[in-house]
Amino acid sequence: MAGKLLSIFKQIEDNRRDLSKLHDLNDILVMAIIAVICGADTWDNIEEYCEAKEEWLAEFLNLENGIPSHDTFNRVISSIDSQHFEQCFIEWVSELIKVTDVKEIVNIDGKTIRGAKRHGKKSPVHMVSAWAHQNNLVLGQVKVNEKSNEITAIPKLLEVLSLKNSIVTIDAMGCQTAIVEKIIEKEADYVLAVKNNQELLFENIEDEFRFSKEIETDEDIDTGHGRIETRKCSVIKNLQHIENQDKWLGLNTVIKIESTREFKNSDKPKEQAVRYYISSLMVSAKEFQHIIRSHWSIENKLHWTLDVAFSEDQSRKRDENAAQNFSVLLKIALNLLKNEKTAKVGVKGKRLKAGWDNQYLEKLINL
């Protein structure tokens, strides 16, 4: 796994002048990834970790000039072309994907790195990422300047991913005809949330559920954490009221999810919500329940983990490509940690264990 990663890194162009190269670019990247795996969240942390582990790192890296300073880690990694770095990451991840008989569900969503502010203004760093639900892997990312620009960033991310025979799920921001066309072009299916940003489509879907007599339903009840949540999934496959249906390429079904959340031993009022979706799939209401619920895994397994286990939301990196490239380092570390199965602890616990135990770390990075 790591051997393939290191060979892919060697494709990255080193923009430094030869006279200033005291450390090989590949060695710098390897040290940074290892340090991040073991708990380093800042450039200073990376330098401190590598200094503490210099003797061990020297067994497989050229450290004749010692450990790079935190400024060197920052400057060199920030100078890497971000698009090329992300392409290398995607190429590496594609080698990790396990193909199964079950279609992979690819969740796409954006996340703002809130700590990366300038003079107290809104964060300039917003990442759109793709998460493979079955494989438990980050597939790739694209940086955008504002959340509203997800509409233009999502097609760019779709373009570089291998999506054949997968199911792509996106929230309402991604419910755009151009995005639908790109998903179909990539030989994938889609399940997209619909809100009032597509006013006509939203009204048409409401009419479908108001007048259709061919509605398949499935109900799921989840109890736990002091609440009872009921989710009713309704599906219509014989569409009669969608205007300009042809512009939504591959559209076959509309879906309604009605959720009710009640709280045990509490005076808190019952919560109710209705959400609508469009899809190119022709599957059962029960299967749509699973697909739509799986979209939350990008929030719980990726965004939440990056904030809690890697403190990404507190990151102050903002210079040049620093935030974007450091985000790739975090996702490389996350993929390695998520797919190591012997340690029965969470990602944060695995980071601690890797920092303490060189044998476990070697197993993680497959040296």
**Phi then psi for 128, rounded to 5 degrees?**
-105, 125
Q: What is the pLDDT of residue 168?
A: 97
Check: CB of residue 229 under 8 Å from CB of residue 261.
yes
Res 344: pLDDT: 87
pLDDT (0 to 100) of residue 60: 86
- Strand pairing partners for 216? 235
| C-beta of residue 233 within 8 angstroms of C-beta of residue 257 | yes
Contacts of 273 (CB under 8 A, 6+ apart): 258, 259
Cα–Cα distance, 323 to 312 (Å, whole number): 9
Among 143, 163, 165, 167, smallest CA distance to 153 is for: 143
pLDDT of residue 84: 87
The number of beta carbons lying within 10 Å of the beta carbon of residue 264 is 11
CA distance 77 to 74: 6
Do residues 42 and 11 touch, judged by C-beta distance below 8 A? no
End-to-end CA distance of the chain: 9
Q: Is the dihedral of CA 138, 8, 314, 122 positive or negative?
A: negative
Residue 151 token pair: 């509409």
- Residue 367 confidence (pLDDT): 45
Two tokens at 277? 């979706």
Ranges in the chain, pLDDT < 50:
1, 119, 367
State how far the Cα of 31 lies from the Cα of 9, in Å rounded to an integer: 13
Are the CB atoms for 100 and 345 separated by under 8 Å?
Answer: no
Separation of alpha carbons 204 and 212, rounded Å: 12
CA 54 to chain centre: 32
In this prediction the pTM is 0.87
